[in-house]
Chain A
Amino acid sequence: DTGVSQDPRHKITKRGQNVTFRCDPISEHNRLYWYRQTLGQGPEFLTYFQNEAQLEKSRLLSDRFSAERPKGSFSTLEIQRTEQGDSAMYLCASSLYRGRNEKLFFGSGTQLSVL
């Protein structure tokens, strides 16, 4: 059973550059979530998809952020014109949503450092 996979594990970039992260959910999971986590804080919700539809976006998701899940399988999160404040761990989670008893399974995250 393969878990949620995220790539890359670490990314160092210069301010102003664009970065893209990939998340491969657990097979058959219909929901996919993106969270952001800074040191000492709990994960903060960014957005989630049910199949290929993006159903909710947080206020934290500025217009520099875009997420896609084109075929309802893997997802990408792109950050344009990165800023130092974007430095964080970006976590992806997936679930098999059937209404009740939803459980999120998280990947190990992508650690972004913006210099």
Chain B
Amino acid sequence: DAKTTQPTSMDCAEGRAANLPCNHSTISGNEYVYWYRQIHSQGPQYIIHGLKNNETNEMASLIITEDRKSSTLILPHATLRDTAVYYCIVRAPYGQNFVFGPGTRLSVLP
């Protein structure tokens, strides 16, 4: 079973920041937080991951709370092409597989 909970769906206006929350209250000390997204009819795409420090790359920023029980994925300037299902996953570094939940369906509106 997935160890995370995410809202089922969210809307965001084009050009605004999209903030996608994820709750992982049972996360263990060595488990990383990963984010993937899946655009319709494609396989999931890696976005970002982190352990306890905030992370940023060319796609997004990941903010992890100090107690590590929740995190937020930030898409700073959402575009229509960011419309997708976003998955938050927690996984130990030597874990056997990635467990996907149902994710959050983000709709970026013009």
Interface residues of A (CB under 8 A from B): 4, 33, 35, 40-45, 48, 55-56, 91, 93, 99-109
Q: A42-B101, A42-B102 are in contact. Are A105 and B93 (CB under 8 A)?
A: no
Known: A93-B43, A104-B46. A42 touches B87 (CB 8 A): yes
B interface list, Cβ under 8 A from A: 2, 32, 36, 41-46, 49, 85, 87, 93-94, 96-103
Q: Which 6 A-B pairs have the closest CB atoms?
A: A106-B43, A42-B100, A100-B93, A45-B97, A43-B100, A103-B46
Known contacts A40-B102, A42-B87, A42-B102; decide if A4 and B97 are in contact (CB<8 Å). Answer: no
Residues of B within 8 A of A109 (CB): 42-43
Give how many A-B residue pairs fall within 8 Å (CB-CB).
Answer: 52
Bound CA span A109–B96, Å: 21
In the assembled complex, the CB of B109 is this many whole angstroms from the nearest CB of chain A, namely 21
Question: Chain A residues with Cβ under 8 A from B42's Cβ?
Answer: 106, 108-109
